[in-house]
Chain A
């Protein structure tokens, strides 16, 4: 009798733990929204929420790509995303000079550029066995140098009006950037959950040896995820540039670290094989909300770094404590 009570107690504890592990970040998001609205009544202003969503779009897009890379495991991460974001900004402004007619073809060029960077990253990591951190760090610096050579330090040109609309306009009450982000989230969810490719990504991240024994082409899939990350970085760069409206050499600065933070906060671990895009988006919203709350309550803007760091540590130790129990 006692054994049976004890084991049913343990089962319900495990059940509660797994709910917390799976949904903890969503619970935290809700708590954050409640706390924010209490400490600052302006937080729930429709315009403020719209600002947060608009500002989250670019980070959300680049974080989707980063999710794929981190899911594949093996220490996978992509530090080159911010450089890609800045470079596509410069390409778009320089070549279109503000003309709508050139927007689509140049977008194609920018996406191709992102794919190319991802391909190089993927090849370095799979064929040359370079650590992802080093490979993507090296690419980040190379792209930065190439961008400065191309612009001579001074980006010129302007963005086509359609790009500005996509980044700052509305469809009804919803910002166009959020409509795009939602579309990308749906596609990413579909790829990860409903396609063989997605299952392979999880499998390789979960246990690479088993995946190899199953006959998966690990190198090809790794290259593919880095190419996805490159493409998402290009899209994010174009959105962010459209939101700022000024051709700046440093568009997206810091987004590589913010995207990694959002992914990890959302429950995707560096070991790979666990997590997903929805958690990442919640992580993005938390990062952006913290930034916004700091300003709404009149704290110095530097406090957002402190808070962000605290939340990252809390989130990762939270997940670690659950996963330690299972191991």
Chain B
């Protein structure tokens, strides 16, 4: 089974693990994530204004690509999932937005919400099945007490996202059981981590996350799992060493026995970046050296070096 895959900006940069563990795990579970070429950032937050069209177009482009491929669209980041699913709903049900977005897009066939949007967790639950996942686990996380942190963006608004019960969700708990762990229920698992407020109101976000992490610890959680890089960042500010926060895909990869392999790949990438970043990017300086005789080979080298350089730059 192949899916059109929308990674999103942060999975290319700060949250590479979230992406890499998911891809490797998908391989074990028998499905493939085909990255949508030239996807554009979803904007991180759903544009709420009913007259906002341009800010929804990057989602429409991704959705239409998946439609043309005849595939469902899979996301991993909670925010991308939230934005793309809601824009898809608009395209399906809100005539004004559909008409105006299509006027911008000028597609050969107008897009009207045909694509099915799935979060990776929904693929695990509804397409793979947690029972099948359980059978594929080679290193169960037996005895590990794991708190699921849902946050807002996976669940609300539930009429549109239709992801799980917004007040008493269970998909992450079922996931934890499938990989052999022991889910810890705590009351703040679907409360907000502060989201983008942490850019300017750092203390406010910290206070909110303290409540969440204290609650999780109080109910006996040894770690938290999340699907959102921003939740991860905010929670890490208050969770401390006692309560590590992991992407759910990391524990998935661990249970499926592919974590080491992914870590080695990520390590290599990081090493390349470190080598390049000593005093800025050395290869760029070298390329621009004047008077250098340009031959065909050098030009080719130049292209190659440039590619590595940009690759490294994304790691920053």
User: Does B associate with A?
Assistant: no
